[in-house]
């Protein structure tokens, strides 16, 4: 009896991809182009001539202040920012608000209002905390390294947890 070996299935020619692969490739290419188009059309608010968000006068003033050269324009912007900070913290002395505006002009108005009222909030920087409450009475390092954690003591009762330069919590 002769031996019969099963034949191998025929192979497709190497030049043509299968239809399923072609569809997957086309869908992935379309998705990649859609994502790239989305990111290319996002506005860059830091550039001169870039669109300014219409509903946020504080952002408009910060961008205008970075590009303004006229002293009267800068004085008008400073006056508007002073009034917004004053509305955010009516108990702060006007001299404190002016000093904060002079020292930290790049900070947003809501951060300056929080600092002017001697308040803190989560995700303030350690520099903003120092501007609000002053230097701590003691700094206790909990963990050193790239993700440094520290406890800042203010008096005997208040402790602020600083995680990698950011306020996380206090008690």
pLDDT of amino acid 96: 92
151 phi, psi to nearest 5 deg:
-105, 125
119, 135, 160: which is the final residue of a domain?
A: 119
Q: What is the pTM of this model?
A: 0.61
Domain holding 154, by residue range, is 123-171
> What is the rounded radius of gyration, in angstroms, for the C-alpha atoms of the chain?
30
Q: Which residues pair with 161 in a beta bridge?
A: 151, 169
Residues 6+ apart with CB under 8 A from 135: none
pLDDT of amino acid 46: 47
- 104 plus 152 within the same structural domain: no
pLDDT of amino acid 4: 67
- 112 plus 127 within the same structural domain: no
- 72 plus 129 within the same structural domain: no
Q: Which of 157, 161, 139, 160 is nearest to 149 (CA)?
A: 161
Average predicted confidence (pLDDT) for the chain: 80
Task: Please give the angle made by the CA atoms of 159, 162 and 167, to the nearest 5 degrees.
Answer: 90
Q: Do the domain assignments include residue 29?
A: no
- 113 plus 132 within the same structural domain: no
pLDDT of amino acid 33: 76
């Amino acid at each position: 009896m002769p031996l019969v070996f099963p034949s191998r299935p025929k192979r497709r020619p190497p030049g043509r991809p299968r239809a399923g692969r072609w569809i997957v490739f086309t869908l992935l290419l379309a998705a990649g182009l859609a994502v790239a188009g989305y990111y290319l059309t996002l506005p860059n608010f830091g550039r001169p001539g870039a669109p300014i968000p219409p509903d946020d006068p504080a952002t408009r003033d910060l961008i205008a202040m970075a590009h303004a050269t006229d002293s009267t324009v800068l004085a008008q912007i400073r006056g508007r920012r002073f009034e917004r900070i004053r509305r955010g913290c009516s108990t702060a002395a006007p001299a404190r608000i002016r000093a904060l505006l002079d020292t930290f002009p790049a900070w947003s108005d809501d951060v300056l209002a929080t600092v002017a009222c001697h308040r803190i909030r989560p995700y303030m920087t350690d520099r903003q905390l120092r501007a609000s409450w002053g230097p701590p009475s003691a700094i206790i390092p909990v963990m050193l390294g790239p993700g440094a954690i520290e406890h800042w003591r203010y008096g005997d009762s208040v402790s602020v947890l600083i995680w990698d330069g950011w306020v996380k919590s206090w008690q």
